[in-house]
Amino acid sequence: MTKVLEDAIEKVRRLPEDRQAYVAEVLEQIAAAGSDLFSIPEEHRAAVLEGLEQAERGEFMSDDEMASLWKKCGP
Collect all residues with Cβ–Cβ distance below 8 Å to 39 and sequence separation of at least 6: 33
Residue 72 has pLDDT above 90, yes or no: no
CA distance 65 to 56: 19
| pLDDT category of residue 74 using cuts at 50, 70 and 90 | low
First to last CA, the chain: 24
pLDDT 10s digits, 4-57 = 999 999 999 999 999 999 999 989 988 888 888 877 889 999 999 999 999 999
Please state the pTM of the whole predicted model: 0.48
Check residue 21 and give its pLDDT. 93
pLDDT computed for residue 3 by the predictor? 95
